[in-house]
Amino acid sequence: MKTAHKVASYAIAVNAFLFVFKLSMALFSGSISLLADAIHSSTDIISSVALLLGIRIAGRKTKRFPLGLYKVENLVSLGIAFIIFLTGYEIIREVFFQHRSLVLARPTYAMATAATAMLVTWLFSLYEMRIGRQENSPAILADSRHIRTDAFVSLIVLVGLIGKQFNVPAEKIATVVVIGFIMKSGWDILIESVRVLLDASIDPATLNQIKEVIQSHPAITEIRELIGRNSGSFTFIEGDLVVKAKDFTHAHQIIEKITDKVQREVPHIDRIVLHYEPARRPSLLIAVMLSDGTRWQVSEHFGEAPYIGWIEIHLNDNRILRMEVTLNPFTEIERGKGIRVAEHLVNHGVDLVLSRQLFHGKGPEYVFNSRDVKVIQISEEFVDRKLIARIYRDETGRDLDGDTETLEVITPPSTSD
């Protein structure tokens, strides 16, 4: 049996015990206030049966209710809120407007009964509160507050019985003290159930936590929208993201990874739906390592090449924005030139790297892979417009604007980084 079902079954048992115990002791002691409390406990048996049924139904998913019946729990909570209000009303009526002649034969027994009932109810409400939090169950949490109300009822009975011994209307004072707590419990549960039933947003803290998990993935460039709603014990999340990825398959993999991570780190999520679209860049940046910066001669080596050639193409009008040569700033260092150069290119936002050799299993490959930079192997000795046009067509399916046969005037090497 599930923990929530178990707790609801216990609630039935506890209320049945309290009813029998209070009723027999009321008859034995002759206490009418205890009798009224016993009658209240009989209605509590019914409400705890409704709780168990509600939780059982809430756990179902059927064809007609494909999103689950989780909200039945919130309906049950709404019902419990009304029971709490009714209890408050009963107390006020009992204490202030009912003038019964008390024939208390055995006051000590009546007091002991009220004290026992209060203790049992209070302890059970604490237990229910703990399980309700652990299971994230609104119905169990609502019931724990109802049971706490029942403990207040027994407290008022006890105070009234003690007051009677000294001819003081102590139960009136006790009622004034606790009625506020009782009505607030009912009100809080009412508001929370209605909020969930009307699909109010989940709390900002949880929403922020989910946002942080999503943003922690480097491929996510923007969260357009992120909403969450509760339904019974569960949370449903929907989002609209912009992903930097090579293609849709890759974007889909990224989204799946993020979905898994959110589900692992944020408890009680039933479903996450994340829509995505690829990030649109204004331009495509191509880099190539050069041995001769003036003639744009492609280097046989990667990390040791003296120059870096940059080609930026505007994606809107397919025109080359700039062709620039810079010095490789890492030629002097002893080790790890390749990785340093790769990081340098990535940090400048490179999208494509042209190279005479591929980096199978080497450092630069990891750097480029981690940032979705594509490496294209070329056999050409020199970079010219024709080569750029071919690469551009392969990558975007579009033609470079202008005459592809003529060679572009090349910017002389500069020392700028």
Binding region for Zn ion (CB under 5 A)? 44, 150
Q: Hey, what are 240's tokens?
A: 């609209």
Alpha-helix residue ranges (DSSP H) falling in 306-372: 337-347, 363-370
DSSP designation for 382: B
Q: Which is nearer to Zn ion, 15 or 259 (CB)?
A: 15
Q: Is the dihedral of CA 37, 41, 47, 48 positive or negative?
A: positive
313 bridge partner residues = 284, 320
Instruction: Provide the pairing of β-strand 269-278 with 234-243.
Output: parallel
Q: Which is nearer to Zn ion, 44 or 94 (CB)?
A: 44
Minimum CB distance to Zn ion, residue 71 (Å): 23
Minimum CB distance to Zn ion, residue 40 (Å): 5
Backbone angles phi, psi at 290, to 5 degrees: -120, 145
What share of residues in the chain are helix, strand, coil (percent, to 5)?
55, 15, 30
Q: Which is nearer to Zn ion, 175 or 230 (CB)?
A: 175
Backbone angles phi, psi at 246, to 5 degrees: -65, -45
In whole angstroms, how far apart are CA 86 and each of 12, 38, 90, 93, 216?
A: 19, 15, 6, 10, 49
Q: Which is nearer to Zn ion, 92 or 327 (CB)?
A: 92
Q: Which is nearer to Zn ion, 90 or 384 (CB)?
A: 90
Task: Say if CB 74 and CB 196 are below 8 A apart.
Answer: yes
Task: Say if CB 206 and CB 200 are below 8 A apart.
Answer: no
Minimum CB distance to Zn ion, residue 248 (Å): 57
Task: Say if CB 355 and CB 375 are below 8 A apart.
Answer: yes
The candidate with the shortest Cα–Cα distance to 340, out of 358, 372, 348, is 348
Q: Which residue has the tokens 């050069």?
A: 290
Task: Say if CB 143 and CB 128 are below 8 A apart.
Answer: yes
Alpha-helix residue ranges (DSSP H) falling in 198-247: 204-215
Minimum CB distance to Zn ion, residue 154 (Å): 10
Minimum CB distance to Zn ion, residue 90 (Å): 9
Minimum CB distance to Zn ion, residue 44 (Å): 4
Minimum CB distance to Zn ion, residue 30 (Å): 23
Q: Which is nearer to Zn ion, 20 or 227 (CB)?
A: 20
Dist. CA 342–CA 107, nearest whole Å: 88
3-state secondary structure 149-186: HHHHHHHHHHHHHHHHHCCCCHHHHHHHHHHHHHHHHH
Backbone angles phi, psi at 2, to 5 degrees: -75, 155
DSSP designation for 401: S
Minimum CB distance to Zn ion, residue 196 (Å): 23
Minimum CB distance to Zn ion, residue 41 (Å): 7
Minimum CB distance to Zn ion, residue 48 (Å): 9
Q: Which residue has the tokens 């980084």?
A: 417
Q: Which is nearer to Zn ion, 150 or 192 (CB)?
A: 150
Minimum CB distance to Zn ion, residue 126 (Å): 16
Q: Which is nearer to Zn ion, 135 or 150 (CB)?
A: 150
Q: Which is nearer to Zn ion, 146 or 371 (CB)?
A: 146
For the chain, how many residues are written? 417
The burial of 110, by beta-carbon neighbours within 10 Å (0-12 exposed, 13-18 middle, 19 or more buried), is given as buried
Q: Which is nearer to Zn ion, 44 or 312 (CB)?
A: 44
